[in-house]
Amino acid sequence: MQLLVQKFGGTSLQTPSSRKHVLYHVKEAIEENYKVVVVVSALGKVPAPYATDSLLQLVNYPETNAADRELDLLLSCGEIISAVVVANELKRAGVRATAFTGAQAGIMTTENHMNARIQHVNPKRLLHAFDTYDCVVVAGFQGETKNGDITTIGRGGSDTTAAALAVATEAVRAEIFTDVDGVMTADPKLVTSAQVLTNCTYSETCNLAYQGAKVIHPQAVEIAMQAKLPLHVRSTYKRNHGTIISNMQEDGKQPRNKKKLITGIAHQAGIAQVKIKRKENPDYSMTAIFKALAAAGISIDFINISPNQLAFTLPNVTLPYAKQIFKQLDLHVTMAEHCAKIAAVGAGMTGIPGVASKIVSALVEQDIQILQAADSHTTIWVLVPEEKLKQAVNALHETFRLSEKVSSLL
């Protein structure tokens, strides 16, 4: 028995018309002699009545009196409704199908309500169901603790559910269906010439996802990478190739991206930069600053430490709370609000000199100020004013010739 896992997001499921495309992909896989696990998100996005944010509005979130455990009970309903609806429509279309909750599919999690982690998957009941059914529709985004409490596993959790189930059931691959054509060289809303990446490595995809590319959740990629599970990001509405995510080097093949220094450009907007200078704060304690921000639930990023200065970024929305902390610590800080972080990602840059120089030159030529920069083996980050975001992303996309198509190796 060969298994295939297919995941469909809320926009793919929101209307009877869009669900016809879901039925097409499931039936096509069954005709190819696969047994199919279909992982579903909640139907649509707010203001759709069963979308995650719509359910939260029922209890006035975030000013709610509901405990996190109770919020998980509420939120799990969205995906459960979706699973039953999709299973019903599959049966109407002649497919032998049934619906499972995440717990019934064997997903066991930590007890961190609203943001649980999958600990392990026991697929015994799921696999046994294929003695009777050709398709099992599983509610994504959820699992169960050892005490039997329902949990949810954070935004993008249905991707993670799909990857975890694919690994546990030894599926051939996991297919992530979305409303875009695949993993792209840049956000097509900013770069009209952005191209679909035919192939991408796990590490590149993970870096792109962590840096703002929203086509797939990075935790799903990490799970797949550890098990060497191929991922296939595809369009729900088109019959195109999409993006294969794998580690092609281990197969003895030359990955597509090695022909380019940079594989893709990702970005995050809505960021503020904070600088704390030693000469203005001779006695400041980095430990005290980081502990105070963490205690307030403020996540910081892009940390640069030097003898004379501490610099980092944080989300604009957290600035009012951060300012209170800086005042309590008696710190004099310099802040640049409304910044954007841009990441140039590519396995091809490893060990190649001059990549950072090209990035700096491209931005300087466009008169774009670089507020901060950092690099690793496969990623170079720059912080720029948010008003220059589109111009900067396009400049880098053009500099590294990412609009040029490269033929597939598959």
| pLDDT digit string, tens, across residues 231-269 | 999 999 988 889 999 986 544 444 444 457 899 999 999
- pLDDT of 257: 42
Q: What is the pLDDT of residues 141-167, one digit of tens each?
A: 999 999 999 999 988 899 999 999 999
Mean pLDDT, the chain, rounded, equals 93
> What pLDDT band is residue 409 in, cutting at 50, 70 and 90?
very low
pLDDT of res. 407: 43
Q: What is the pLDDT of residues 323-372, one digit of tens each?
A: 999 999 999 999 999 999 999 999 888 888 899 999 999 999 999 999 99
Closest CA to 341 of 305, 299, 313: 313
Structure token pair of residue 139: 């509610």
The predicted pLDDT at position 269 comes to 96
d(CA 185, CA 263): 6
Question: For residues 283-319, b (16+ Cβ closer than 10 Å) or e, as one string?
Answer: ebeeeebeebbeeeebebebeeeeeeebbbbbeeebe
388 in the Ramachandran plot: left (φ > 0), alpha (ψ -120 to 50) or beta?
A: alpha
Give the tens place of pLDDT for each residue, 362-401: 999 999 999 999 998 899 999 999 999 999 999 999 999 9
Task: Provide DSSP, 249-282.
Answer: GGGT---GGGGSS--EEEEEEEEEEEEEETTT-T
Instruction: Enumerate the H helices of 285-373 as residue ranges.
Output: 286-295, 319-328, 355-365
Q: Give the span between the Cα atoms of 142 and 245, in whole angstroms.
A: 24
Q: How confident is the model at residue 1 (pLDDT cuts 50, 70, 90)?
A: confident
Domains identified in the chain and CATH numbers: 2-258 (3.40.1160.10), 264-399 (3.30.2130.10)
Nearest to 329 by CA among 290, 364, 358: 290
User: Is the pLDDT score of 54 beyond 90?
Assistant: yes
Whose tokens are 């109407």? That residue is 92
> To which residue do tokens 């799903």 refer?
220
Spatial separation of the C-alpha atoms in residues 130 and 305, rounded to whole Å: 55
Identify which of 35, 36, 33, 54 has the alpha carbon closest to the alpha carbon of residue 45: 54
23 vs 376, more confident: 23
Quick one: average pLDDT of 200-214?
92
CA 38/CA 174 separation, integer angstroms: 10
> What does pTM read for this prediction?
0.89
Q: What is the pLDDT of residue 348?
A: 86
| pLDDT of amino acid 2 | 96
On the question of a cis peptide bond just before residue 385, with omega within 30 degrees of 0, the verdict is no
pLDDT at 120 over 80: yes
- Name 49's Cβ contacts closer than 8 Å, sequence gap at least 6: none
Q: Is 335 strand, coil or helix?
A: strand
Query: What is the pLDDT, as a whole number, of residue 190?
Result: 96
Q: CA end-to-end span of the chain, whole Å?
A: 25
Residue 408 has pLDDT above 50, yes or no: no
Length of the chain: 410
